[in-house]
Amino acid sequence: MKYKTKEEFLDTVVDNYKDQKEFHQAVEEVVHSIWDTAVANPEYGKFNILDRIVVPDRTIIFRVPWMDDNNEVHVNLGYRIQFNSAIGPYKGGLRFHPSVDLGILKFLAFEQVLKNSLTGLNLGGGKGGSNFDPKGKSDKEIMNFCYAFMNELYRHIGRRTDIPAGDIGVGGREIGYMFGQYKKIRNAFTGVLTGKGTNWGGSVIRPEATGYGLVYFVVEMLKMRDDSLDGKIATVSGSGNVAQFACEKLIELGAKPVTLSDSGGFIYDPDGITQEKLEYVKELKGVRSARISDYAKKYNVEYFEGKRPWSIKCDIALPCATQNELNFDDAKELLENGCFVVAEGANMPSTTNAVRHFIDKKILYGPGKAANAGGVAISGIEMSQNSTRIPLKRDKVDGLLKEIMQRIHTTCVKYGSKDDFINYVDGANIGGFVRVADSMIDQGIV
Q: Report what 92 binds from ligand NDP, ligand 2IT, none; CB cut-off 5-8 Å by kind.
A: ligand 2IT
Q: Which of 124, 151, 168, 185 is nearest to 379 (CA)?
A: 124
Q: What ranges in 119-224 are assigned the alpha helix state H?
A: 139-153, 172-186, 206-223
Length of the chain: 446
Q: Report what 241 binds from ligand NDP, ligand 2IT, none; CB cut-off 5-8 Å by kind.
A: ligand NDP
**Separation of alpha carbons 92 and 81, rounded Å:** 9
Minimum CB distance to ligand NDP smaller for 38 or for 125: 125
Site string (312-341) toward ligand NDP, x via CB under 6 A: --------xxx-------------------
Whether the Cβ atoms of residue 196 and residue 171 lie closer than 8 Å to each other: no
Site string (225-254) toward ligand NDP, x via CB under 6 A: -------------xxxxxx-----------
Rg (CA), the chain: 21
Whether the Cβ atoms of residue 178 and residue 143 lie closer than 8 Å to each other: no
Site string (263-302) toward ligand 2IT, x via CB under 6 A: ----------------------------------------
**Separation of alpha carbons 29 and 352, rounded Å:** 8
How many residues sit close enough to ligand 2IT to count as binding (CB under 6 A)? 12
For residue 416, state whether it binds ligand NDP (rule: CB under 6 A): no
Question: Which listed range, 7-15, 28-36, 224-232, 375-383, lies at the site for ligand 2IT (CB under 6 A)?
Answer: 375-383
How many residues sit close enough to ligand NDP to count as binding (CB under 6 A)? 24
Q: Which of 82, 239, 244, 379 binds ligand 2IT (CB under 6 A)?
A: 379
Site string (261-290) toward ligand NDP, x via CB under 6 A: -xxx--------------------------
DSSP string, 305-321: ET--GGGS--SEEE--S
**Separation of alpha carbons 317 and 313, rounded Å:** 9
First-to-final CA distance of the chain: 19
Minimum CB distance to ligand 2IT smaller for 112 or for 429: 112
> What is the pairing mode between strands 125-130 and 73-84?
antiparallel
Q: How many angstroms separate the Cα of 95 from the Cα of each of 13, 51, 250, 357, 368?
A: 24, 27, 26, 29, 17
Binders of ligand 2IT in range 140-179 (CB under 6 A)? 165, 167
Which H or E run contains 409? helix 394-416
Q: What are the residue numbers of the active site?
A: 127
For residue 381, state whether it binds ligand 2IT (rule: CB under 6 A): no
Question: Which listed range, 9-17, 22-30, 90-98, 174-182, lies at the site for ligand 2IT (CB under 6 A)?
Answer: 90-98
Q: Which of 88, 120, 201, 345 binds ligand NDP (CB under 6 A)?
A: 345
Residues that bind ligand 2IT (CB under 6 A): 91-93, 112, 115, 165, 167, 194, 347, 375-376, 379
